[in-house]
Structure formats: structure tokens, C-alpha cells
């Protein structure tokens, strides 16, 4: 494939994936509001469009038109840079997530993935670890004791749970033998899904990911009743919207990783003419990601939140030894079989 | 050609970040410049073909160690540093000294007979190659490093725990009668 065709196809893929991701982020807000409403026995958004489906549009317009409060007491450069960097790092990790197989479009063909790096999993882990800065710097630059406390708590929580997050994925890597996300999914053909081979690692990953994305039951840093609003107390309008979007984009990334690593990604029954065979894997992938987003919302509105010392103790004293034990057992079994 | 452009791009960010680190007066700006240096170093590793090391550099150095730096600066509320008047002798001797030293080093490095450049992706940097090196050739340094890190963690725990618990471990908190005696004689405060 010539270099021009490669560049053009990459740009088209990036634009399409980015558009879909931002729409998914907006509509995951709708999903949260609807599901939380039903769990609490009320309706949720119903007025703006059928079933409230245009509510995210109304929210977007509100965020753009709202007045940006300009506080004189904040440290301006970091105050503006923090939500931007949070959003950038949250959106970047979609670039290595594969959605489906090879597709042929006339004389060209491409993988359904923006780029297939052979260290794809490490790239996602690196980007999530850089995402801590947005939270920490936002809390500090707001010059406000609630924000500082919230930011410190959030960043300490995120770096603690990153350790067990990474270690829980090592079991999957031992079984697969490759860091490329496409290879990990290909190794799960014929229902050898990693959820059956690594159930403990799946639960450690899920719990660590909930803590990493600051979602209930680990959402003390942004709990409304505890810390006003934590690290985004002083933010209004668009900057607050950026934090909001980055939280939901991180949720989408976690859901995508969970399906790729444990639930077989885009694998599922494929049949029919070639056009259907190209679309069906993407459909299975989207259904599985949707299930994980629903699970996120379900857990948020069912469980109470952890106290901060319980949270940190759980991460270091329970999840980390469990993850290491999982690695040891997996390595022993794989070595014994070889 | 592209190799040169990318190398110069990452190298410029690295050197500019390092100089900015020294030039900034607020420690948080210095920490952010150091993050930029770490990220550009990861880019340089990628140019060499060491992709695993580049990813680990971002995860560990830029993503964990620098976060600890930033958290410490935030906790200690370190403000802008005070600037004293620069000493004129230091500038008169220092700046030419740095320039001459830099020129000497660059000239020596460029005129060695066995100097060569490495094209993009020349080294084998995939994780399996590194794992093979780490667990065959460099096993002893690897294990010794892990013991060293364990000692550092233990030292940090000891340093961060309560000083009374270490200095006078046999003293316990006084019971109710002793407390009343201490309050009566005024000895309950230091």
C-alpha cells in the first residue's frame, strides 16, 4: 500500500473512531441517567426527544453556553491545562483498541484498529498512568482546601490501584505470550476466552479499574457529600465538561480492555455474506462493551462507597497479594504444561 | 531524513525541558518540565527500536515516579523559591566555562574513530528479547536490584512511622490514674 493511501486511510479511521468515541461518551451519560433512574424507581430524562435521547445534545449546548467563572485565586496555567490533559489522555488510548478483523474496501484493506502496536497493552497502561496528572494538578491549582484534598486522595488512589491493575493483566500475558491486543484476542478463538482461564484476574482487573476511573464504590475523591466536589470544585462549564468526558472516556477504555482481554473481543458467531461478516464482529464487540458500561452504572447505584483508609488498605493489602498469587499460580501451571 | 527530524524534535524537547527545569522558580513548573524530559526520552528510546523500554519509561518514570514528585510538592506546599542576587564572578567564569566544556566534549565525541550512528529500529527491543537478556545474562543484577528496592521500601516505612514508637518502644499511654496525676502536677504537657 502506498504511503498516501496509508495516510488517508489512517486519517479516515482516526476521524471515524474519534467521532464514535465522543458520541459513545455523550450517550453513556444518558445511559447512566436512565439506568440510575430506573434503579431508583423513577423515569430519568424523558422530555428532550423520545426516551430523552436528545438529552446529551442539550447538555452539550448547556456546557458550551454556560458562564465560565473566572476565579482570581487559582494558578491559571495549570488550572486551564489540567482538564485538557485529562481529556487528551483519556481519548488517546482508543487508538490501539481493535474493533474487528481485516476488512477489504476495494483495492485497499485495513485492520479495524487505528494502529496495531506490538506493545499495545503497555501503551494503554502508560496512558492511564499519565492520566493521574490531570486530577492532581487540578486539585492543586484550584487553591482550595477541598480541591487539594480531593486531588491528593484521587491521585494516591489511582497510583495504588494501577499496580494491581497491571499485575492482574500479567496472567493473561503469560497465557497469550504477546502484548499486542490483536494477538490476545486471536488467542481466544473457539471459546478459549480468558474469563474461563483467569477468573481471579478478571475480578482483580475489574475492581482495580473501578478504582482507577474513580467510580463508586471508590469515588471518595469526587463524592458530593464528602468533599463538596473534590478536585473539580472550582471548575465550571466547559472545563467541568472536559473532566466529565474524560471520566466516561476512561470508562469506555476500561470496558474495551475488559472485553478484549477476558471476553474474546470481537469473537462471536459470524455468518452470512461478506458485508455481514465484516460488521458482525464489530457488533459483538459493541454489545460486550455495552454490557460492561451497564455493569459500571449498575455497580455505582447499588453499592455504598468505601472510606478512604479502607480503600487504600484494600488495594495494597488484598488486591496486590492476590494479583501476585495469581501470577505465580498461572506461571506454575503454564510451565508445568510446557 | 525522517530519523534526523524526529531525533532533533525529541532532543530539543529534552534539552529545553532540562534547561527549563533549572530556570523555573516554582517547583511545580520544574516537575512538569522533568515530565516533558522523561516523555521525550521515551520517544528517543522508540527511535532506537527499544519499544518495551520506551513504554516502561512512560509507565514507571513519567507516570509513577513523577506523580510522587508532584504529590510531594503539593503536600509540602512548596512556594516560589527566593532569588538571591547573582554573583558576577560566577557568571564571568561560569558561562565561558560551560561553553568551553561543551565544545571540548562534543569535539572529542565526534572525532573518535569508532563512532557510528544507529538507524531507526536497529536494536531488538521486543519484550521477549529483553526477557531473555534479563533472565539469562543479567539475572544476578536483576535479583540484586529487587533486594535493593525492598531495602529502600523498608527504610521508607521505618522513616515514616511514628518516632516515639521507635525511640521509646517500652512506653505505653498512661492509664486513668496516672493521667489524673499528670494533670494535677501539670506534667501532661511537654
In this predicted model, what pLDDT tens digit does every residue of A221-268 receive, in sequence order? 766 555 566 677 777 778 888 988 999 999 999 999 999 999 988 888
- Round to whole Å and give the CA distance between A31 and A37: 10
**Are the beta carbons of A133 and B75 separated by less than 8 Å?**
no
According to the model, what pLDDT value does residue B86 have?
73
Exposure string for B163-179, b = 16+ CB within 10 A, e = fewer: eeeeeeeeeeeeeeeee
In a domain, B50, yes or no: yes
**Total number of domains in chain B:** 2
In a domain, B10, yes or no: yes
- Shortest distance between the Cα of B76 and any Cα of chain A, in A, equals 11
In a domain, B91, yes or no: no
Window A:115-174, CB contacts with B under 8 Å: 117-119, 122-123, 125-126, 129-130, 132-133, 136-137, 139-140, 148, 151-152, 155-156, 159, 162, 166
**Are the beta carbons of B55 and A119 separated by less than 8 Å?**
yes
**B9 lies in the same domain as B72:** yes
**Band (A161; pLDDT cuts 50, 70, 90):** very high
Q: Is the pLDDT of residue B143 over 70?
A: yes
CATH of the domain at B45: 1.20.120.1200
How many interface pairs between A and B have CB atoms less than 8 angstroms apart?
60
In a domain, B68, yes or no: yes
Q: How much is the ipTM here? A: 0.85
Q: Is the pLDDT of residue A146 over 90?
A: no
**Are the beta carbons of A78 and B28 separated by less than 8 Å?**
yes
Write out pLDDT tens, residues B6-58: 999 999 999 999 999 988 888 999 999 999 999 999 999 988 888 899 999 99
Chain B nearest-CA residue for A125: B59
Q: How far is CA A29 from the centre of its chain?
A: 14
- Shortest distance between the Cα of B28 and any Cα of chain A, in A, equals 9
- Round to whole Å and give the CA distance between A262 and A184: 9
In a domain, B146, yes or no: yes
According to the model, what pLDDT value does residue B189 have?
66
Residue length of chain A: 338
**Are the beta carbons of A133 and B67 separated by less than 8 Å?**
yes
User: For the residues of A202-270, what is the DSSP string, one character each?
Assistant: HHHHHHHHHHHTT-TTS-GGG-TTTSTTGGGTT--HHHHHHHHHHHHHHHHHHHHHHHHHHS-TT-S--
The answer for residues whose C-beta is within 8 angstroms of residue B117's C-beta and 6 or more apart is none
CB A176 within 8 A of CB A109: no
Choose, out of B67, B129, B130, the residue to mutate when testing the contact with A (most A CBs < 10 Å).
Answer: B67
Give the DSSP H/E element, type plus range, for residue A111.
strand A108-111
Q: Is the pLDDT of residue A75 over 90?
A: no
**B72 lies in the same domain as B4:** yes
Looking at chain B, the whole-number percentage of residues with pLDDT higher than 90 is: 41
Q: Is the pLDDT of residue B123 over 70?
A: yes
In a domain, B186, yes or no: no
List the domain range (segments joined by +) for residue B45.
Answer: 1-80+119-125
Amino acid at each position: 500500500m502506498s504511503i498516501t493511501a496509508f495516510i488517508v486511510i489512517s486519517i479516515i479511521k482516526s476521524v471515524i473512531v474519534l467521532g464514535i468515541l465522543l458520541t459513545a461518551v455523550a450517550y453513556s451519560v444518558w445511559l447512566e441517567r436512565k439506568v440510575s433512574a430506573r434503579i431508583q424507581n423513577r423515569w430519568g430524562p424523558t422530555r428532550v426527544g423520545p426516551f430523552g435521547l436528545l438529552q446529551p445534545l442539550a447538555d452539550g449546548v448547556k456546557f458550551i453556553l454556560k458562564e465560565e467563572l473566572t476565579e482570581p485565586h487559582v494558578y491559571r496555567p495549570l488550572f486551564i491545562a489540567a482538564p485538557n490533559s485529562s481529556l487528551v489522555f483519556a481519548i488517546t488510548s482508543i487508538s490501539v483498541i481493535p474493533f474487528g478483523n481485516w476488512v477489504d474496501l476495494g483495492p485497499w484493506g485495513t485492520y479495524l484498529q487505528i494502529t496495531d502496536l506490538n506493545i499495545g497493552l503497555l501503551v494503554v497502561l502508560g496512558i492511564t498512568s499519565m492520566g493521574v496528572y490531570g486530577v492532581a494538578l487540578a486539585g492543586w491549582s484550584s487553591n482550595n482546601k477541598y480541591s487539594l484534598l480531593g486531588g491528593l486522595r484521587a491521585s494516591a488512589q489511582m497510583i495504588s490501584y494501577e499496580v494491581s491493575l497491571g499485575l492482574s493483566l500479567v496472567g493473561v500475558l503469560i497465557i497469550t505470550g504477546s502484548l499486542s491486543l490483536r494477538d490476545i484476542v486471536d488467542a481466544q478463538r473457539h471459546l478459549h476466552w480468558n474469563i474461563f482461564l483467569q477468573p481471579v484476574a478478571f475480578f482483580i482487573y475489574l475492581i482495580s479499574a473501578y478504582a482507577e476511573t474513580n467510580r463508586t464504590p471508590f469515588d471518595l475523591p469526587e463524592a458530593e457529600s464528602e468533599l463538596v466536589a473534590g478536585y473539580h470544585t472550582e471548575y465550571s462549564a466547559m472545563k467541568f465538561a472536559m473532566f466529565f468526558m474524560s471520566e466516561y472516556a476512561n470508562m469506555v477504555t476500561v470496558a474495551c480492555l475488559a472485553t478484549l482481554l477476558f471476553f474474546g473481543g470481537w469473537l462471536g458467531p459470524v455468518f452470512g455474506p461478506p458485508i455481514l461478516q465484516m460488521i458482525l464482529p464489530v457488533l459483538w464487540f459493541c454489545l460486550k462493551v455495552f454490557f460492561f458500561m451497564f455493569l459500571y452504572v449498575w455497580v455505582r447505584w447499588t453499592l455504598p462507597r468505601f472510606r478512604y483508609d479502607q480503600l487504600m488498605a484494600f488495594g495494597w493489602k488484598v488486591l496486590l497479594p492476590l494479583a501476585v498469587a495469581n501470577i505465580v499460580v498461572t506461571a506454575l501451571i503454564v510451565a508445568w504444561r510446557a | 531524513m525522517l530519523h534526523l527530524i524526529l531525533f532533533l524534535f525529541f532532543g530539543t524537547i529534552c534539552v529545553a525541558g532540562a534547561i527549563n527545569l533549572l530556570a523555573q522558580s516554582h517547583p511545580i513548573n520544574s516537575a512538569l518540565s522533568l515530565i516533558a524530559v522523561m516523555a521525550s526520552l521515551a520517544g528517543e528510546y522508540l527511535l532506537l527500536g527499544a519499544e518495551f523500554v520506551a513504554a516502561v519509561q512512560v509507565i514507571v518514570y513519567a507516570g509513577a515516579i513523577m506523580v510522587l514528585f508532584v504529590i510531594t510538592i503539593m503536600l509540602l506546599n512548596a512556594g516560589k523559591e527566593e532569588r538571591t542576587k547573582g554573583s558576577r564572578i560566577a557568571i564571568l567564569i561560569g558561562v565561558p566555562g560551560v561553553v568551553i566544556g561543551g565544545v571540548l566534549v562534543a569535539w572529542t565525541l565526534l572525532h573518535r574513530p569508532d563512532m557510528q550512528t544507529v538507524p531507526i529500529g536497529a536494536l531488538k527491543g521486543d519484550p521477549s528479547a529483553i526477557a531473555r537478556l534479563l533472565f539469562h545474562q543479567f539475572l544476578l543484577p536483576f535479583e540484586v536490584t529487587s533486594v535493593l528496592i525492598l531495602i529502600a521500601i523498608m527504610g521508607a516505612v521505618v522513616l515514616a512511622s511514628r518516632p516515639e514508637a521507635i525511640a521509646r518502644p517500652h512506653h505505653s499511654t498512661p492509664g486513668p490514674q496516672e493521667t489524673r496525676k499528670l494533670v494535677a502536677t501539670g506534667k501532661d504537657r511537654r
